[in-house]
Amino acid sequence: MSRDISLLHPELRDICREFVSACKAKGLEVGISQTRRTKAEQDALYAQGRTTPGSIVTNAKYPLSPHNWGLAFDIYRNDGKGAYNDADGWFSRCGEVGKSLGLFWGGDFKSFRDKPHFELKKYLPANSVSALIQRYDRPENFIQTWEEVMTQKEFDAMMENYLARRRELAASGWAVTELDEAKRLGITDAEAPQAFATRQEVAAMVARAIK
Ligand SMILES: [Zn+2]
């Protein structure tokens, strides 16, 4: 698992470094435990608790995690008081710092709260990699473009395609918001699963997955 900040999307590298120093200024000693995750790493992580020993730590299959796209990082507590000790609200304080820098904080997920997790919101509408999958298919194709700067026009076109697809799905009765949640929770990796179409059905599956 890589904790190398330089593996992140260029726009997230600077914010990540800024985040670590802004936390430090508030007396919060942050360590980075995870940045970009390769397919092999995601596969191994997904297998954990399912076909390999350990407990389940992710519901996302490759490439559904923002980590696969270099758009997320995870932190740990590095002040010697326990890497995940949150008894004094340490992670929430870091969450506030991250949010002040425009990041999405995993502690704000409605289900499966993930307090060590931060994301660059820009490319992840509704915390979903759908827009990226539509535009780039695989993370490798996205990563290849990092050296060139995406123009505002290209970015707008990508988001317009994403929104058009959602409108299409919504018009044919798909519960698009619940579908994003279902994808994040690993219930489905289908764009529009034929097996469950209604809002109630998807919401029920999400509720079951959380339990
Ligand atoms: Zn994470």
pLDDT in tens, 8-55: 999 999 999 999 999 999 999 999 999 999 999 999 999 999 999 998
- pLDDT at residue 202 is higher than 80: no
Going from the Cα of 207 to the center of ligand 1, the distance in angstroms, rounded, reads 21
Confidence at residue 199, expressed as pLDDT on a 0 to 100 scale: 64
**Candidate ranges 37-41, 175-179, 190-194, 201-205; pick with highest mean pLDDT:** 37-41
Confidence at residue 63, expressed as pLDDT on a 0 to 100 scale: 94
pLDDT tens column, 63-83: 999 999 999 999 999 999 999
Q: Which of 1-15, 32-46, 147-161, 186-200 has the lowest mean pLDDT?
A: 186-200
Going from the Cα of 72 to the center of ligand 1, the distance in angstroms, rounded, reads 6
Going from the Cα of 115 to the center of ligand 1, the distance in angstroms, rounded, reads 9
Confidence of residue 119 (pLDDT cuts 50, 70, 90): very high
Q: How far apart are CA 123 and CA 131, in angstroms?
A: 7
- pLDDT at residue 182 is higher than 80: no
Residue 30 CB contacts under 8 Å (≥ 6 apart), including other chains = 19, 20, 23, 24, 75, 76, 77, 78, 94
Going from the Cα of 178 to the center of ligand 1, the distance in angstroms, rounded, reads 20
Average pLDDT along the chain: 88
- pLDDT at residue 194 is higher than 60: no
Closest CA to 70 of 13, 127, 115, 128: 13
58 near 186, Cβ under 8 Å? yes
132 near 142, Cβ under 8 Å? yes
- Going along the chain from its start, the domains and CATH numbers come out as 5-125 (3.30.1380.10)
Going from the Cα of 93 to the center of ligand 1, the distance in angstroms, rounded, reads 17
What is the percent of the chain where pLDDT is above 70? 89
Whole-model pTM: value is 0.82
Going from the Cα of 35 to the center of ligand 1, the distance in angstroms, rounded, reads 8
- pLDDT at residue 115 is higher than 80: yes
Report CA dihedral (169, 175, 177, 183) to the nearest 10 degrees: -90
115 near 92, Cβ under 8 Å? yes
Number of Cβ within 10 Å of residue 77's Cβ equals 19
Helices 90-100 + 10-25 axis angle, to 10? 130
Helix (H, G, I), strand (E, B) or coil at 72: strand
Going from the Cα of 33 to the center of ligand 1, the distance in angstroms, rounded, reads 9
Mean pLDDT in residue range 180-192: 67
11 near 122, Cβ under 8 Å? yes
Confidence at residue 95, expressed as pLDDT on a 0 to 100 scale: 98
- pLDDT at residue 198 is higher than 70: no
Going from the Cα of 172 to the center of ligand 1, the distance in angstroms, rounded, reads 33
Q: How far apart are CA 103 and CA 56, in angstroms?
A: 26
Q: How far apart are CA 158 and CA 103, in angstroms?
A: 20
